[in-house]
């Protein structure tokens, strides 16, 4: 049985390699806050959301499949959460049971433990089947409706009743019926655990004469225990495989549901704060159109616990976006909001905006200015160039690079020239670039380029910041004197 909630044709592998620079992406885009809010302290939800977020999809079909499943989860949050809670409870009950595969217990104890686990699992299967009866009508997406149909088909009433009957027979410890035959050397062989209900009294008598072990005859009791172990060995082996299979299925289903539970958690929190979320529109890789309305930094909303200023854009045919303007005007915040939205969109999640349209990108990379670090073995510029070189080794047409105050550790002229050459080389080779920079010489070098979109942090007369990013060509000043006057007065 497969859930197929994350992919149409395969299971969700939470141990798959993450994208290059996943830890850097998490730090630069402040995604720890986002994943933490999705998880709400649940380790499985956190692991599932991490795995999905840092393995962005590049197939429009796979993204659309996951988006439709999320829409279904959004329409039926109660059912999704209840299914997940059932699986969490099953896991907790399983932890409290005996570990039947432990080498420190005998086969009889292993049999009893396996039967006990399968009783728990059977109750879970019956509960999931109950959800399927309701979910057939409630869900409409391919993923969730397919899961409901699979559960309804595979877990019929007849099947569940048969399982309960077998477990009841195996659970009866008052007496176990074992048969054996005489081997060529005169020793018993061919031990078999028999079903008492099928044989009946006459059948048992036909198996052979009976005798009763005297009370206190430990040697005879030990011998019978050994013979019983031989008879139940195959049964324990079969039950062990069944238990492992059921464990794998429940763990897989719990991981896949965990992603949607995390998305529901984030959506619920943001809507409570008045911050909108939308399911984005993804364009083919060869498109260069971007449009959004009300785009905001989710991590900032989480830290402030309130809605924040959003931004708007409608651009076509642009490959290089240069963001300039007043210091502390919201440029880095805007860059984070954009990076978060692009990454979340490509893993099938909703994004922090009223609407968001963007092309799919084969790789998403960040190159942000870093603070001084005593562990650096060379200068800051060397460190920046080393990071850029590592990114460049992995770039190809259709990738996206996000720069934030890059190459500013040297003087204006040198930093501008380095940044200009890198940006030019990337865009000429089909790489999309977003760059926040206070290097005026760098920005001015692209003033006449038709494929460049200039954006600027808005500043009102008198120096007030609106924290909006609007179209506007670069200025030679970043209005640092506004901050000086605010701190020290005129």
Structure tokens at 200: 């009946």
Among positive and negative, which fits the CA dihedral 315, 25, 400, 12? negative
Structure tokens at 421: 């050459």
452: which DSSP letter? E
Instruction: Give the pLDDT confidence score for residue 315 in this predicted structure.
Output: 95
Instruction: Give the pLDDT confidence score for residue 103 in this predicted structure.
Output: 47
Answer whether 37's CB lies under 8 Å from 271's CB.
Answer: no
Among positive and negative, which fits the CA dihedral 371, 372, 377, 381? positive
Distance in angstroms (rounded) separating the CA atoms of residues 441 and 321: 15
**What are the residues facing 413 on neighbouring strands?**
none
pLDDT lower than 50: segments of the chain: 100-104
Instruction: Give the pLDDT confidence score for residue 201 in this predicted structure.
Output: 58
Instruction: Give the pLDDT confidence score for residue 109 in this predicted structure.
Output: 76
Q: What residue has token string 């380029």?
A: 449
Distance in angstroms (rounded) separating the CA atoms of residues 4 and 147: 7
Distance in angstroms (rounded) separating the CA atoms of residues 240 and 232: 12
Catalogue all structural domains in the chain, each as residue range(s) with its CATH number: 22-166+247-264 (no CATH), 177-241 (no CATH), 281-488 (3.40.50.300)
Distance in angstroms (rounded) separating the CA atoms of residues 399 and 401: 7
Instruction: Give the pLDDT confidence score for residue 101 in this predicted structure.
Output: 47
For 1-19, give the secondary structure using H, E and C. Answer: CCCCCCCCCCCCCCCCCCC
Structure tokens at 108: 């009889």
Instruction: Give the pLDDT confidence score for residue 205 in this predicted structure.
Output: 59
Mind listing the pLDDT tens digit for each residue in 321-363? 999 988 888 899 999 999 999 999 999 999 999 999 999 999 9
Global pTM reads 0.86
Distances (CA, A) of 426 to 101, 136, 193, 393, 455: 56, 50, 71, 12, 19
- DSSP per residue over 339-373, as a string? HHHHHHHTTT--BSSSEEEEE--SEEEEEE-----
Q: Which of 323, 329, 374 shows the shortest CA–CA distance to 465? A: 329
């Amino acid at each position: 049985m497969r859930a197929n909630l994350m992919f149409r044709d395969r299971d969700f592998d939470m141990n798959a390699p993450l994208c290059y620079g996943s830890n850097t992406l998490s730090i630069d885009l402040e995604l720890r806050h986002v994943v933490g809010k999705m998880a709400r302290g649940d380790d499985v939800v956190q692991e599932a959301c991490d795995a999905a977020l840092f393995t962005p999809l590049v197939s429009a079909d796979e993204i659309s499949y996951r988006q439709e499943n999320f829409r279904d989860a959004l329409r039926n949050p109660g059912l999704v959460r209840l299914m997940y809670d059932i699986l969490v409870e099953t896991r907790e009950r399983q932890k409290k049971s005996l570990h039947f595969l432990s080498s420190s217990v005998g086969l009889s104890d292993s049999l009893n433990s396996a039967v006990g686990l399968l009783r728990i699992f059977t109750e879970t299967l019956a509960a999931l089947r109950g959800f399927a009866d309701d979910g057939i009508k409630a869900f409409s997406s391919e993923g969730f409706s397919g899961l409901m149909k699979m559960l309804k088909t595979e877990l019929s009433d007849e099947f569940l009743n048969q399982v309960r009957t077998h477990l009841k027979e195996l659970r009866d410890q008052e007496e176990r019926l074992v048969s054996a035959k005489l081997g060529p050397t005169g020793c018993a062989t061919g031990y078999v655990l028999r079903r008492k209900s099928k044989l009946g009294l006459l059948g048992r008598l036909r198996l052979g004469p009976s005798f009763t072990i005297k009370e206190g005859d430990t040697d005879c009791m030990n011998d019978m225990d050994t013979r019983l172990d031989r008879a139940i060995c195959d049964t324990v082996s079969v039950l062990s495989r069944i238990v492992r299979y059921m464990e794998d299925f429940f763990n897989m289903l719990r991981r896949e549901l965990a992603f949607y539970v995390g998305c529901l958690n984030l959506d619920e929190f943001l809507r409570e704060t008045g911050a909108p979320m939308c399911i984005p529109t993804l364009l083919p890789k060869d498109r260069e159109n971007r449009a959004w309305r009300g785009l905001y930094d989710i991590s900032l909303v989480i830290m402030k616990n309130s809605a924040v200023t959003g931004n708007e854009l409608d651009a076509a045919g642009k490959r290089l976006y240069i963001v300039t303007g007043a210091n502390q005007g919201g440029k880095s915040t805007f860059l984070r909001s954009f990076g978060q939205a692009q990454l979340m969109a490509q893993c099938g999640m909703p994004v922090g905006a009223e609407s968001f349209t963007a092309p799919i990108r084969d790789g998403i990379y960040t190159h942000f200015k870093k603070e001084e670090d005593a562990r650096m073995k060379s200068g800051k510029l060397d460190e920046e160039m080393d990071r850029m070189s590592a990114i460049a080794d992995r770039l190809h047409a259709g990738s996206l690079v996000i720069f934030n105050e890059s190459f500013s550790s040297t003087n204006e002229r040198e930093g501008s020239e380095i940044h200009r050459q890198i940006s030019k080389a990337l865009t000429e080779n089909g790489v999309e670039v977003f760059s926040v920079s206070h290097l005026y010489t760098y920005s001015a070098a692209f003033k006449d380029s038709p494929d460049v979109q200039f954006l600027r942090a808005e500043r009102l007369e008198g120096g007030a910041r609106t924290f909006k990013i609007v179209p506007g060509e670069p200025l030679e000043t970043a209005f640092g004197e506004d901050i000086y006057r605010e701190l020290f007065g005129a």
